[in-house]
Amino acid sequence: MSGNLVNLNVNPCKMCMPLGSASAFYGIRGCMTILHGSQGCSTYIRRHMATHYNEPVDIASSSLTEEGTVFGGEKNLIKGLENLIRLYDPEVIGVATTCLAETIGEDVPRIVQDFRDSHPDLRASIITVPAAGYAGTQYEGFFRALRAVVAQTEQDAAPHNGINLITGMISPADTRFLLALLAETGLEATLLPDLSENLDGGHEEAYRNLPSGGTPLAKIARMAGARMSIEIAEFIPPELSPGQYLEENFGVPLRRCALPVGLRDTDRLLALLEEAGGRITPALQKQRRRYLDAMADSHKYNALVRAAVFGEPDFVYAVSRLCVENGALPVLTATGASSPLWQEKLREEVAPAAAYHMEENCTALDNCDFDLLEEQARLLGVNVLIGSSDGRRAEEHLDIPLVRCAFPCHDFVGGQRQRMLGYEGGLAFLDSVTNAVIHSRGRRYRGELFSKYYHKAVPPSPAPAPGPAPEPATNRREANASKSAVHPCFNGGGGDYAMMHLPVAPACNIQCRYCLRKFDCPNESRPGVTSEVLSPREGYEKFLAVKARMPELTTVGIAGPGDALADFAAVRETLRLIRAADPDITFCLSTNGLLLPLYAEELVEIGVSHVTVTVNALTPQMGARIYAHVDYLGENYTGEAGAAILLANQFAGLRRAAALGMVCKVNIVLLRGINDEAVRDITEKAKAHGASIANIMQMIPVPGTEFAGMEMVSHKDVQAIRRSCGEILPQMYHCRQCRADAIGKLGEDRSLYFRKVAALPAGADKTAGVLRFAVTSRGGMLVDQHFGQANEIYIYDYADGRVCYRERRGVVGTGGCGGAGGGKAAAEELSAKMEALMRAVDDCDAVLTMRVGEASRERLRAKGIDVRLTYDRIEDAVRDAGQASPGR
């Protein structure tokens, strides 16, 4: 179950049964495993095991196909058994099923019996285990395989002095520890399984594909006569327990214990071994005393530990007990398997630790996935994770250490060498947990205590102290201001930076009495004028084309020809397209301000850093003389009413834009006799509303407008007014009153050169003096295909040592040589293909191909097309062919 989703497992904290079975079989001597199912299962499991153990992991597959799935996979399984016997000559073969084989109802024991009957020379014992991935996790799969090994091996029940020691999935290094322990106690024992060598082998002179370690079947056959079985597993259901099987069928007494991690469980195992007649050596007693000493030494650090422990039920239980006895708190315990018994026992186990830590919320979860685990770990304030590499995402998200000590460990090295069993193993493991917590505390405590207790003035550079984040608009303001440096209008003269105006905003929502938007007059340079109106897509194309040719382009502006906000959708789309292609470009936009309050937020979102508002009036009365009408929210307003709306929105918009961190400029058009006396006041008011620069400019009278006859304010007067207003706001002295489609540095409009530019010139029309080559290629890099097999032809031109790709031509009439149908149909298809090929190379001087049939060669020759056989990189082949052509 997931933390956020009830119906989905989000990031599984478990693996499947076949993985467990395959792992268990790896501990049987001379055993090779085959999974009866589709190929992917064995490959995925091999990959998972190979990266953990760093050993070659060979697991065969019956490689079920569609046919096998529908009609039964018996044939595949038999063939598979024969093949793996040829290649590996195993003593034992583990046959584990998978989801697929179980679901289609394969009777594997019967198939295997038939196989034995039909292969009298068979040397290997075959063990079958049903392992549907949906019937349990790797934990169940592991024990199910062990039980199958014991139950399917003919047992010799003659009593002997030895004992059986049965384990779950423990590391090879821990397995070696158990073997050494058994030897030390002097007990004869059968360890089942024994992964110690097979999944952590040495480097040998000669490599053997079937590793030589593992529990021999001969020993397994005598398990029924042992004096006792000890099963190191607390939570396996009785029907999966090999020990239970031996007890029920042969009366071998079964003892159970948890994984011997830490004091209590190692004591318990040693007690059992002693009960079985083993000797507890002084060396072991010394190890125990050393463990006690370490418990005292580390207890204060261990009290800092709030661990989340996850993985197989036995692992989590044992590690939790280790924590508890050392005063650490396993505040969250989780397993992906389903086990109510486990949950109950863990609650019991953790209770005293919870009481000691006065923590009421300790949680134990079965059926857990990492989504839930992460969520709970966050809630519970976990400070260390203990489990497999699969916890690494939680480690990353929660920023707490993960101590890796279970399967799979595929992002670190040493999975096969993990140690946690016995006094020494437990201690080394506990140290790594304790040290992880000490390390992360050491890393953090200076910063944490600084922010907690240091309340004097804000220090100049509080390195680790996370002060309050600066207000976003402030950040943006700084970032935007810095962009002014490369904006030719805002940096005081352009320098080496160029801008372009994109005429994507044809509509306007007010009528100024001095303006006539006239769309095609390339000789006029004046705001509002443009030669073409572009769609957003075209505007974007034009940007790309210009940027490609003018790298100094730093700024894209929208300045009409209408109002940039009147039809905002087009402007928004244009700017979004450009932003996606170029994250660094500066956007500026000019508007009459009528809709600025409405769109200011969105402008910021798109990344517009500079906005210019043209404010010509101080009062509605003055405005009424300048604006003929104002279209606002579907209504047409004239006179003072319209002007009042416009003015109010201009200043409200300025205030909003400035508050959002945009760099705001006001344009003021000097209208003699109307506003020339009020310019200072307008500037003053604009400043009060957030403008940071002003551009005061002449009105350029346009024939056909109401103000066609108005006298322009002289340059001298303009300069005087600018100087006067300069006391209030910085002035833009360098304005060149650019067109709505201007491109270039200020005063150097190069838009003529870019008109109707095609961003990606197409066309494969051949020009004179150029050699054209048809190339056949499969991968597109090399001339690596037969002419007759080509389904596409690459066209290249060559001239004067230069090779140029032109296009790829599809060849209709696919099928290649000798189409599937055979007979007449195939012949027709072939001939259609040939015609298509001939058409495709019709305009070429030569064909470059790996091979060509005689018939094709003849036809090409008849058309005057040369053929060159080659196998080379296309460009090199074309160059060679071009240079070799006569007369070049």
Confirm or reject binding of residue 793 to other proteins (CB under 8 A): no
Q: Which stretch binds other proteins (CB under 8 A): 61-69, 430-438, 659-667, 854-862?
A: 61-69
Strands of 728-791 (E only): list them: 743-744, 771-775
Q: Which of residues 113-152 bind other proteins (CB under 8 A)?
A: 132-135, 137
Q: How far is the CB of 226 from other proteins (least distance, A)?
A: 34
* Strand pairing class (771-775; 846-849): parallel
Q: What is the radius of gyration, based on Cα positions, of the chain?
A: 41
Opening angle at CA 164, ends 161 and 170, nearest 5: 150
Confirm or reject binding of residue 16 to other proteins (CB under 8 A): yes
Confirm or reject binding of residue 19 to other proteins (CB under 8 A): yes
Confirm or reject binding of residue 466 to other proteins (CB under 8 A): no
Cβ-contact 133, 99 below 8 angstroms: yes
Confirm or reject binding of residue 609 to other proteins (CB under 8 A): no
Cβ-contact 90, 84 below 8 angstroms: yes
Among 87, 428, 659, 752, binds other proteins (CB under 8 A): 87
* Strand pairing class (608-614; 663-670): parallel
Q: Which of residues 684-703 bind other proteins (CB under 8 A)?
A: none
Nearer to other proteins, 46 or 487 (CB): 46
Confirm or reject binding of residue 77 to other proteins (CB under 8 A): yes
Q: How far is the CB of 307 from other proteins (least distance, A)?
A: 23
Residue 27: CB atoms within 10 A of its CB come to 28
Site string for other proteins, 357-376 (x = CB under 8 A): --------------x-----
Among 23, 54, 320, 616, binds other proteins (CB under 8 A): 54
User: How far apart, in whole angstroms, are the C-alpha atoms of residue 44 and residue 408?
Assistant: 13
Among 357, 417, 806, 859, binds other proteins (CB under 8 A): 806
Confirm or reject binding of residue 76 to other proteins (CB under 8 A): yes
Nearer to other proteins, 392 or 656 (CB): 392
Nearer to other proteins, 121 or 360 (CB): 121
Q: Which stretch binds other proteins (CB under 8 A): 14-22, 182-190, 296-304, 345-353?
A: 14-22
Confirm or reject binding of residue 817 to other proteins (CB under 8 A): no
Nearer to other proteins, 814 or 885 (CB): 814
Nearer to other proteins, 254 or 847 (CB): 847
Q: How far is the CB of 358 from other proteins (least distance, A)?
A: 35
Q: Which stretch binds other proteins (CB under 8 A): 203-211, 228-236, 349-357, 853-861?
A: 203-211
Q: At what angle do helices 263-275 and 313-325 cross, to 10 degrees?
A: 110
User: How far apart, in whole angstroms, are the C-alpha atoms of residue 387 and residue 368?
Assistant: 13
Confirm or reject binding of residue 104 to other proteins (CB under 8 A): yes
Nearer to other proteins, 491 or 789 (CB): 789
Q: Which stretch binds other proteins (CB under 8 A): 93-101, 313-321, 509-517, 737-745?
A: 93-101
Confirm or reject binding of residue 34 to other proteins (CB under 8 A): yes
Cβ-contact 803, 879 below 8 angstroms: yes
Among 247, 265, 390, 845, binds other proteins (CB under 8 A): 390
Nearer to other proteins, 13 or 236 (CB): 13
Q: What DSSP string runs through 327-346? A: T-EEEEEE-SS--HHHHHHH
Residue 355: CB atoms within 10 A of its CB come to 11
Cβ-contact 517, 508 below 8 angstroms: yes
Nearer to other proteins, 8 or 180 (CB): 8
Nearer to other proteins, 704 or 801 (CB): 801
Q: How far is the CB of 144 from other proteins (least distance, A)?
A: 14
Closest Cα partner for 261 from 349, 391, 146, 137? Answer: 349
Q: How far is the CB of 111 from other proteins (least distance, A)?
A: 13
Confirm or reject binding of residue 714 to other proteins (CB under 8 A): no
Confirm or reject binding of residue 765 to other proteins (CB under 8 A): no
Nearer to other proteins, 283 or 760 (CB): 760
Cβ-contact 349, 324 below 8 angstroms: yes
Confirm or reject binding of residue 267 to other proteins (CB under 8 A): no
Backbone φ and ψ for 807, nearest 5 degrees, come out as -170, 175
Confirm or reject binding of residue 249 to other proteins (CB under 8 A): no
Q: How far is the CB of 582 from other proteins (least distance, A)?
A: 8
User: How far apart, in whole angstroms, are the C-alpha atoms of residue 465 and residue 450?
Assistant: 7
Q: Which of residues 395-454 bind other proteins (CB under 8 A)?
A: 410
Closest Cα partner for 221 from 152, 147, 128, 155? Answer: 155
Cβ-Cβ contacts under 8 Å for 105 (sequence gap 6 or more): none
Confirm or reject binding of residue 69 to other proteins (CB under 8 A): yes
User: How far apart, in whole angstroms, are the C-alpha atoms of residue 164 and residue 246?
Assistant: 10
Nearer to other proteins, 160 or 806 (CB): 806
Q: Tokens in use for 720?
A: 């005087």
Nearer to other proteins, 50 or 465 (CB): 50
Residue 212: CB atoms within 10 A of its CB come to 11
Q: How far is the CB of 368 from other proteins (least distance, A)?
A: 12
User: How far apart, in whole angstroms, are the C-alpha atoms of residue 132 and residue 562?
Assistant: 69
Provide the 3-class DSSP secondary structure of residue 305: coil
Site string for other proteins, 723-762 (x = CB under 8 A): ------------------------------------xxx-
Cβ-contact 749, 760 below 8 angstroms: no
Cα dihedral: 446, 450, 452, 456 (round 10): 170
Q: How far is the CB of 466 from other proteins (least distance, A)?
A: 23
Among 79, 279, 755, 863, binds other proteins (CB under 8 A): 79
Q: How far is the CB of 396 from other proteins (least distance, A)?
A: 10
Closest Cα partner for 402 from 411, 335, 338? Answer: 411
Nearer to other proteins, 40 or 472 (CB): 40
Closest Cα partner for 699 from 734, 737, 665, 731? Answer: 737
Among 303, 512, 706, 810, binds other proteins (CB under 8 A): 810
Among 209, 212, 361, 482, binds other proteins (CB under 8 A): 209
Confirm or reject binding of residue 621 to other proteins (CB under 8 A): no
Q: How far is the CB of 775 from other proteins (least distance, A)?
A: 11
CA distances 861 to 846, 848, 857, 858, 865, Å, are 9, 13, 6, 5, 5
Distance of CA 119 to the CA centre of its chain: 51
Closest Cα partner for 773 from 737, 735, 799? Answer: 799
Among 120, 121, 203, 456, binds other proteins (CB under 8 A): 203
Q: Which of residues 527-546 bind other proteins (CB under 8 A)?
A: 537, 540-541, 544
Among 27, 55, 645, 811, binds other proteins (CB under 8 A): 55
Closest Cα partner for 733 from 697, 709, 763? Answer: 697
Confirm or reject binding of residue 180 to other proteins (CB under 8 A): no
How many residues at the interface with other proteins, by CB under 8 A?
Answer: 106
Cα of first residue to Cα of last residue in the chain, in angstroms, is 74
CA distances 389 to 54, 193, 227, 328, 506, Å, are 15, 24, 39, 22, 59
Confirm or reject binding of residue 455 to other proteins (CB under 8 A): no
User: How far apart, in whole angstroms, are the C-alpha atoms of residue 812 and residue 183?
Assistant: 76
186: which strand partners?
none
User: How far apart, in whole angstroms, are the C-alpha atoms of residue 491 and residue 735?
Assistant: 11
Closest Cα partner for 66 from 104, 93, 22? Answer: 104
User: How far apart, in whole angstroms, are the C-alpha atoms of residue 843 and residue 837?
Assistant: 12
Confirm or reject binding of residue 554 to other proteins (CB under 8 A): no
Q: At what angle do helices 263-275 and 422-453 cross, to 10 degrees?
A: 170
Q: How far is the CB of 442 from other proteins (least distance, A)?
A: 28
Among 27, 68, 90, 214, binds other proteins (CB under 8 A): 68
